[in-house]
Structure 1
Amino acid sequence: MTGLILPNLSSNQMGQVTITMTVTNWVDQVMSDRKFIPVEEVRSRKLDNVLVDTGATLLCLPAEVIQQLGLVQGGEASVETTAGVKMGRIFRGVDLCISDRHGTFDCLELTEVSYALLGVIPMEVLGLEPDLKNRRLRLLPMNAEQTYLSVL
């Protein structure tokens, strides 16, 4: 996607949060869990310097990572970038692990940057909240009497 504002990942900018996370091909994981393939064949990758981006909706992965994981394209969508609205490819079945939190998500392909972005939907589903002052993610809830999940 052209026109993305590239963050300065090498400096200690106020409010910029970067994390480490693991992404896995969810179909591979299910196949391994059911003993159809050995665990060694599960495609997975640990990603460092993932930018926590409250302006992004989805998990966004570089094309190279999507290819390494062998993800299947699920469609295309109009994506708002700083250069305007562009078409982007959506891929299915990424198992995302941050700390001890796991979830399965779609991801948007990034074609012009080499780092991943963690958007608000995966953060909300996993109960994660950016702590901009301390440049980290907080795990919710903050105490044992609360939960980040609700059914109303």
Structure 2
Amino acid sequence: MGEVRIKARLRNFVDVALAERGGGTVDRLPTSELDCLVDTGAVMILLPADEVGKLGLARGGRVIVTYADDRREELSTARGLEVTVLGRTMVTDCVIGPPLCEPLLGHLVLEELDLVVDCARRSLGPRPESPNLPLLKLK
């Protein structure tokens, strides 16, 4: 089984909302287009600290992360990250990793955007039942 990677567009949602509310253009806002590793074992998004700074995200709280080798570390989070993958957009928090670390796309994004990993094809795409919009359960 190989890696699945996908391009994600990242912006500061507070900036987007302020630009839209004030009649400004969102085209001029700081935006990152990152090649992310899709990690179904990760819960949240992990972004390098330099990208979080570039986007001007607000600091959140702290979390303890567990790595694949069972090490644990306390890391900061950032709030208000707008993530767009395959034309589907959501707003979420992210974990702040060291500068230049590999960005990870975790399970929360896959769930909310209703995307599935195809390991055989090493690709990410919408569930066949929801090709146009995310289909979310509200039970």
Q: 1:17 to 1:119 in 2, by over 3 A?
A: same
Query: Based on CA coordinates, which of the two structures has the bigger radius of gyration?
Result: 1
Q: Residue 85 in 1 paired to residue 72 in 2? A: yes
Superimposed CA distance per residue, residues 101-125 of structure 1 (whole angstroms, 9 cap, x where no aligned partner)? 0000100011165321000011101
Partner Cα separation in structure 2 for residue 42 and residue 52 of structure 1: 25
| Letter in structure 1 aligned against 2:107 | V
2:81 to 70, 74, 94: 94
Q: Residue 53 in 1 paired to residue 51 in 2? A: no
Aligned residues: 137
Q: Which residue of 1 aligns with 2:53?
A: 67
C-alpha contact 2:48 2:96 (8 A) present in aligned 1: yes
Name the % identity: 31
Q: C-alpha displacement at 1:143, in angstroms? A: 5.6
| Letter in structure 1 aligned against 2:52 | I
- TM-score (normalised: structure 1): 0.82
Q: Secondary structure at the match of 1:148?
A: coil
Superimposed CA distance per residue, residues 72-95 of structure 1 (whole angstroms, 9 cap, x where no aligned partner)? 111101111225111011100000
Equivalent residues in 2 for 1:128-147 (5 A)?
128-142=115-129
Partner Cα separation in structure 1 for residue 19 and residue 65 of structure 2: 34
Partner Cα separation in structure 1 for residue 123 and residue 77 of structure 2: 27
C-alpha contact 1:127 1:141 (8 A) present in aligned 2: no
Partner Cα separation in structure 2 for residue 71 and residue 112 of structure 1: 15
Q: Secondary structure at the match of 1:31?
A: helix
Q: Which residue of 2 aligns with 1:6?
A: none
Instruction: Note the aligned Cα RMSD (angstroms).
Output: 2.1
C-alpha contact 1:24 1:96 (8 A) present in aligned 2: yes
Q: Secondary structure at the match of 2:34?
A: strand
Range that drifts further, 25-34 or 106-115: 106-115
Equivalent residues in 2 for 1:110-129 (5 A)?
110-111=97-98, 113-129=100-116
| Letter in structure 2 aligned against 1:120 | H
